Amino acid sequence: MAGVAGGNDFQWCFSQVKGAIDEDVAEADIISTVEFNYSGELLATGDKGGRVVIFQHEQESKSRPHLRGEYNVYSTFQSHEPEFDYLKSLEIEEKINKIRWLPQQNAAHFLLSTNDKTIKLWKISERDKRAEGYNLKDEDGRLRDPFRITSLRVPVLMPMDLMVEASPRRIFANAHTYHINSISVNSDHETYLSADDLRINLWHLEITDRSFNIVDIKPANMEELTEVITAAECHPHQCNVFVYSSSKGTIRLCDMRAAALCDRHSKFFEEPEDPSSRSFFSEIISSISDVKFSHSGRYMMTRDYLSVKVWDLNMENRPVETYQVHEYLRSKLCSLYENDCIFDKFECCWNGSDSAIMTGSYNNFFRMFDRNTRRDITLEASRESSKPRATLKPRKVSTGGKRKKDEISVDSLDFNKKILHTAWHPKDNVIAVAATNNLYIFQDKIN
């Protein structure tokens, strides 16, 4: 169970950090997505340069069974390359927007990775044996002289150094006019959906030349456009249900059994706006940047600029829980608009048991909320607290006039250090936090 606050029984400590240390961060190295696979054995990251790096959890060593194993690099490959759309004279960025794993069905691992326009299915497989003793070839590959072959032998499989190969098995292209923001694998393990600003498509994993358009909110006259799709996800158990969030802060739940085109929602989730907090930027901060179902499928969580909300799927008129991530930024919205931070899209995630949620903030801070105890904690991903198994100290931002000793004032926050992408291991208390070009892995302290 994940207790969140730093009580006597539970604390987070540093485990590993991946990535270069230099101050000068190459844009291509900025991590743009993080995702554990279903078992938590593999952890994938995608970056702005179109690369995917997969880490594998090593088994705990027999000599020190009380320590969790580490995540080490398992495979690295270039998933997407920059492209050019000649018709529109536009560059297509190679940045990986999302990675989603498929449930494992055989020895190989499969994942979907997407940039703005194209989704690819990658197969990652291991090769640790090699056939030796061919009849017609020498070990170095040269053809043997036929006159020298006097007997027949059966090639034998010999062990070799482990080689992990990644190969693209399917490429799903040319189905999105606008920029893809989400992909989600369906619980039937045969289909998946992809969403861009105005449309959502349903694909079959085996079929690349067709997809079904299931949501289309493009108005006949683009000048009447008032909202866009910001995220979409399939229900974890009901393969006919999915949700999508909008830039207006609303979520629509759709049932694919109702109609081929799910333009009419089955449920519509919206919290009435508080008129007293209206400002120039009310619309921007209510735009939802991420939506995630709980593992149970009973709840869903949405992230907007300042808060995280948990919704009960049975109640549409308001969320059941609201957590403030960094309310102290509400008075700074104008500056955040000028420096573009107000457009940052933070993600959020559940822990394995749905008892806690996590999301990122600025200054390399990330926040966790325990839904049962209602306690929250702010932690920092920094090189300073990167000693092995060092306990993370809770951080606090001072909002009032007086700043206490260990607190940091709002004006000292570094808005270039933002944690947009976090992931929680599906079973254990292990979290992966992407801080620009570094990936931090934290785990609970095993007492």
Token pair belonging to 268: 């519509």
Considering beta carbons, is residue 145 or 223 the nearer one to another protein? 223
In the chain, the N- to C-terminal Cα span, in Å, equals 14
Strands 182-185 and 156-172: unpaired
Sign of the CA dihedral with 77 first, then 56, 169, and 196 last:
negative
Q: Determine contact, residues 331/341, Cβ cutoff 8 Å.
A: no
Considering beta carbons, is residue 75 or 114 the nearer one to another protein? 114
Can you name the residues that pair with 12 across neighbouring β-strands? 444
> Nearest approach, Cβ of 284 to another protein (angstroms)?
5
Considering beta carbons, is residue 247 or 266 the nearer one to another protein? 247
CB atoms within 10 A of CB 71: 23
> Nearest approach, Cβ of 407 to another protein (angstroms)?
30
C-alpha gyration radius of the chain: 24
> Nearest approach, Cβ of 205 to another protein (angstroms)?
27
Contacts with 29 (C-beta within 8 Å, 6 or more apart), sequence order: 19, 20, 47, 48, 49, 437
> Nearest approach, Cβ of 187 to another protein (angstroms)?
28
DSSP label at 424?
E
Chain residues in the site for another protein (CB under 8 A): 85, 88-93, 95, 116, 177-179, 181, 197-198, 219-228, 230, 247, 280-281, 283-284, 287, 334, 337-338, 340, 343
- Amino acid occupying residue 109: H
> Nearest approach, Cβ of 86 to another protein (angstroms)?
10
Whole-angstrom distance, CA of residue 374 vs CA of residue 376: 7
> Nearest approach, Cβ of 69 to another protein (angstroms)?
38
Considering beta carbons, is residue 313 or 342 the nearer one to another protein? 342
Whole-angstrom distance, CA of residue 439 vs CA of residue 433: 6
Q: 390 to each of 23, 304, 314, how far by Cα in Å?
A: 23, 32, 42
> Nearest approach, Cβ of 199 to another protein (angstroms)?
11
Task: Give the 3-state secondary structure percentages of the chain, helix then strand then coil, rounded to 5.
Answer: 10, 45, 50
Whole-angstrom distance, CA of residue 213 vs CA of residue 175: 9
Whole-angstrom distance, CA of residue 133 vs CA of residue 374: 65
Sign of the CA dihedral with 403 first, then 374, 244, and 271 last:
negative
Whole-angstrom distance, CA of residue 353 vs CA of residue 23: 37
Token pair belonging to 318: 């308001």
DSSP label at 41?
S
Considering beta carbons, is residue 82 or 103 the nearer one to another protein? 82
> Nearest approach, Cβ of 228 to another protein (angstroms)?
5
Strand blocks (E) in 22-104: 31-36, 42-47, 51-57, 71-78, 83-85, 90-92, 98-101
Token pair belonging to 164: 């992990």
Considering beta carbons, is residue 283 or 316 the nearer one to another protein? 283
Considering beta carbons, is residue 284 or 410 the nearer one to another protein? 284
> Nearest approach, Cβ of 370 to another protein (angstroms)?
32
> Nearest approach, Cβ of 289 to another protein (angstroms)?
10
> Nearest approach, Cβ of 18 to another protein (angstroms)?
26
Considering beta carbons, is residue 85 or 190 the nearer one to another protein? 85
> Nearest approach, Cβ of 220 to another protein (angstroms)?
6
Contacts with 85 (C-beta within 8 Å, 6 or more apart), sequence order: 91, 92, 117
Considering beta carbons, is residue 13 or 92 the nearer one to another protein? 92
- Residue with token string 């990167």: 386
